[in-house]
Structure 1
């Protein structure tokens, strides 16, 4: 089944309120909506809670990959109460270059963010195999869709009109690898 922009935007809008900046209540006039009070944010927190409960599957997968590569787990923020939308990790390809990969907690999606060096291809294939065997039915989001801006959503430190589908489904950690 072909993945569509519309399908992914439906997922994004289920977990992120439209038109609401992510700022604290003290900076919002009385009666104005606050991000943390929205139904969408509540769903995001529930997804993060499921992610904490299902963490052993992620941990086993990254241990298998970590046995073969220099791996850094970026998902530990979940255990400090974070409402991250995905598990995230990076594998170091060289001393200065890493690729990152993410498994969404919001839907059956994953992404591998490639830095654009020759060493990435075999590693990316191996990561995809590991993800697809650990999370049956999960599919990669194609770059032509994942890099599209969601104009009416703000996430964490990303302002309204700057968040991309990849960031919404995988977090701003997606931006930490620049091709």
Structure 2
């Protein structure tokens, strides 16, 4: 089944209030909405709570992938009660492939499994290897029914959403469903 823009925006707006800046009450005039008081934020908190409860599934998948690749789990803070919309991890590849590989690595692929809906994303620098398809196969086996969000939809800006680390009008669908961690893969 194909994913469409409308479906993804419906999910985003279920968890992020439109037009409400993410700021503390002391900075908002009386009787104005505050982000943390919204129904959407309550749903986001509940989704993160489910993420904590289902963390062993993520951890097992990360272990399997970590046996094959140099991997960093970016989701441990969920266990500490932080509110995040997804599980996230990064895979590190060698900086230099030819002629002699360097000892230092760089994050060149990140992957995310949303806690807000049956979606995942793989943010890859495009190295020609088996890593993206191996990660996708592992996600598909661990989270049956989850679908990847295509870049032409995921990179679309959601103009009326404010979120941690991203001001109003700058967040993309990928950021809303996978968090700001989506942007953490090293540039070329």
Unaligned ranges ≥5, structure 1? none
Find the counterpart in structure 2 of residue 47 from structure 1: 47
Measured after TM superposition, the shift of residue 77 of structure 1 is 1.3
Measured after TM superposition, the shift of residue 117 of structure 1 is 2.8
Measured after TM superposition, the shift of residue 6 of structure 1 is 0.4
Q: In the alignment, is residue 115 of structure 1 matched against residue 125 of structure 2? A: yes
Q: Deviations over 1:115-162 (max 9, x none)?
A: 2333xx410100000000000000000000000000000110100100
Measured after TM superposition, the shift of residue 81 of structure 1 is 1.4
Q: Distance in 1 between matches of 2:73 and 2:107?
A: 15
Which has the larger Rg? 2
Q: Which has the higher helix share?
A: 1
Q: Distance in 2 between matches of 1:78 and 1:56?
A: 12
Q: Are 2:90 and 2:107, in contact at CA under 8 Å, matched by a contact in 1?
A: no
Find the counterpart in structure 1 of residue 15 from structure 2: 15
RMSD: 1.0
Q: Distance in 1 between matches of 2:3 and 2:163?
A: 23
Unaligned ranges ≥5, structure 2? 95-104
The structure 1 segments of at least 4 consecutive aligned residues displaced by more than 6 Å after TM superposition are none
Q: In the alignment, is residue 35 of structure 1 matched against residue 35 of structure 2? A: yes
Q: 1:136 aligns with which of 135, 141, 144?
A: 144
